[in-house]
Amino acid sequence: MSDELSDKLVISAALAGAATVKSQNENVPYTAEEFGNEAKKCYDAGASIVHIHARDPEKGNPTHELDIIKAVIDAIKERAPGILINLSTAISQVATEKQRIKPVETYKPPLCSLNTNSMNFSVGDHKTGQVLLAPTMVFMNNFSMIQKFAKRMKKARSKPEIEVYDMGGLYNILFLNKQEGLFDQPLHFQFVFGVLGGIPFSYQNLASLLALKPPDATWSVCGVAKDQFRAGMCASVMGGHIRVGLEDNIRTIDGALAKGSYEQVEWAAKVAKIAGREVATPAEAAEIFHLHKTDVY
């Protein structure tokens, strides 16, 4: 990476997620057209990357169906040509291991998520201690699955965005990274804060993760609800990158329901400017994150 890119900030927009629904915010995209339109708005606001959980266009459920995922990808490419696509391999609670990795093997996106540990994964009321969503759910990512996914991502020439929800997940990857050739170097991490079952955002938690990551690894942050803004502010002045979007937070910085992920992208672009950093273009993001340029959408 050239010196002139070392201070650029990459903004990613996670448009839907697996859990956020229109009853919470009507601007969560379900249809391919809605994904395409929202991606265009995010691109215009400064996003270089869109992270995709495709939805059943009628029911709104997260889906592993390849034809629906293709329609979403095509709509994004048509409306926001050049923006980088990051496909999720989390997909849903019911998707099988094969269904989770198949979209990456089929469409070979520049980026895709690689989750790092099996964990409780839910939403709760932090005032009362009540678990509000999926109290029995265990998000399964055992060592066998992580290694299989890493090998198949490498074959697809898709860069793993390594999703870290707690210290254990990071240690898992540091251990597996000792295997010669399992991962292309340098690694790229997404530090995720605020999931019930993972760690909340704090400066101390972020500093601990950064102290352990390989020195040459790139990194970004995302956070649930207010952790989105807290983590993004810190990353902007510490050399990291920012993910925003309705997957993680349905509101803007002032507490209003967001009109779309693009409003949060606009906020991230302002934060970058305040921190004295320029927002990266998709082509610059591809170089910063060491993506395979021949495969960039």
pLDDT tens profile 152-175: 999 999 999 999 999 999 999 999
What is the domain extent for residue 92?
A: 3-295
Q: Report the pLDDT value the prediction gives residue 2, as an integer from 0 to 100.
A: 64
The upper half-sphere exposure of residue 130, i.e. CA atoms within 13 Å in the direction of its Cβ, equals: 4
Contact predicate 18/90, CB 8 Å: yes
Average pLDDT, rounded, for the chain: 95
CA distances from residue 277 to 10, 82, 217, 235, 236 in whole angstroms, order as listed:
10, 22, 19, 11, 8
Please check the confidence at residue 294 and state whether its pLDDT lies above 80.
no
Q: Report the pLDDT value the prediction gives residue 296, as an integer from 0 to 100.
A: 43
Query: In this predicted model, which residue has the larger pLDDT, 212 or 123?
Result: 212
How many structural domains does the chain have? 1
Q: Which of 99, 97, 115, 108 is nearest to 158 (CA)?
A: 108
Mean pLDDT score, 54-64: 96
CA distances from residue 202 to 3, 19, 36, 70, 233 in whole angstroms, order as listed:
30, 24, 34, 38, 12
- Split at pLDDT 50, 70, 90, the class of 134 is confident
Residue 115: which CATH number? 3.20.20.70
Please check the confidence at residue 297 and state whether its pLDDT lies above 50.
no
pLDDT digits (tens, 9 = 90+) for 228-270: 999 999 999 999 999 999 999 999 999 999 999 999 999 999 9
Please report where in the chains the tokens 């265990």 appear, as a residue: 138
Using DSSP, state whether 49 is helix, strand or coil: strand
Q: Report the pLDDT value the prediction gives residue 293, as an integer from 0 to 100.
A: 65
Mean pLDDT score, 20-28: 96
- Split at pLDDT 50, 70, 90, the class of 3 is low
Please check the confidence at residue 274 and state whether its pLDDT lies above 80.
yes
Q: What values do phi and psi take at 135, rounded to 5?
A: -65, -15
Please check the confidence at residue 205 and state whether its pLDDT lies above 50.
yes
Q: Report the pLDDT value the prediction gives residue 16, as an integer from 0 to 100.
A: 96
Write the DSSP symbol of residue 201. P
pLDDT digits (tens, 9 = 90+) for 216-226: 999 999 999 99
